[in-house]
Amino acid sequence: MQRRFKQVDVFTARAFRGNPVAVVLDCANLSPADMQRIARWANLSETTFVLPPEQGGDYRVRIFTPLSELPFAGHPAIGTVHAVLEAGMLAADRPQLVQECSAGLLPVRVEQAGPERHFFVRAPAASFRPIEDNELDELAAALDADAGPTVRPLVVSVGPTWAVLDLGNAEAVAAVQPNMSALAGVSRAMRITGVVVFGRDPGGDAPLRARAFAPAEGVPEDPVCGSGNVCVAAFLRETGLLAGVGNFYSVSQGREVGRDGRVHMRVDVASGAIELGGAAVTCIDGTLFG
């Protein structure tokens, strides 16, 4: 079989600075086992597969890490809509569409055009649980960081489930050097996708700086993590810290691994609805054989 294939760099308008996602189009007759095999071969944090819709969306997407399927993920959602529009599967000038995934029907807004085009995806609703004292101690040891200098961390789920830690400032975020083996063990024990840390960067080009680690999913450090940043936004709203950054803010992520991504977040304070936004650019466009 031959299928259209794109590798899209997300959260950047300049190639090779964001987070790549592999997008496989024309997947109506592809089995989940084959999808997992391709995702393992692609060896990116996520690979997506585009299928006909089943619940009223404009198209359906399934999302796989190298090890498992996810119900939702942020940069794959944005990279996939970019690929679908670029491939001509939907009209390129549509300002709104609906992406169907295992987490449900997700509205997508398209803002501006050309190199300035940004996509905003409404994330699934967040749920929360506290982190127990022993879990917090294990996280701090695995991260080699003070896990609770400000507000106590929470586990936040939007499909992927992240432990969210506010480290206070960007310098503390940059200094984190996890023991990936220990962090993978803690993540499995806590039944979480991974850990996202963030801090404020008042002198930087974005008010927040973040990093995300998911070694239990085969992704030691996710260069620019959409679902992790959605969980940070939900954490800020839940803990009353959102006023300090505003309900429309940007996040810098990826410099520690040689990238320079920008994530844009919108939070409806009243309803709790969260939109994840960013640019995207295609780096590879071709055909997948097999």
Active site residues: 46
Asked if 83 and 6 count as a contact pair (C-beta separation under 8 A), the reply is: yes
Map residue 285 onto helix, strand or coil.
Answer: strand
DSSP class of residue 99 equals E
d(CA 128, CA 124): 13
The 10 Å Cβ neighbour count of residue 263 is 31
Read off the amino acid at residue 36: Q
Q: Name the token pair of 261.
A: 């991504």
Read off the amino acid at residue 49: F
DSSP class of residue 223 equals S
Map residue 237 onto helix, strand or coil.
Answer: helix
Q: How far is CA 158 from CA 162, 205, 230, in A?
A: 9, 27, 8
Q: How far is CA 232 from CA 27, 56, 203, 208, 272, in A?
A: 33, 30, 20, 10, 13
| Residue with tokens 């959409």, as numbered in its chain | 226
Q: Name the token pair of 23.
A: 């997008």
Asked if 111 and 264 count as a contact pair (C-beta separation under 8 A), the reply is: no
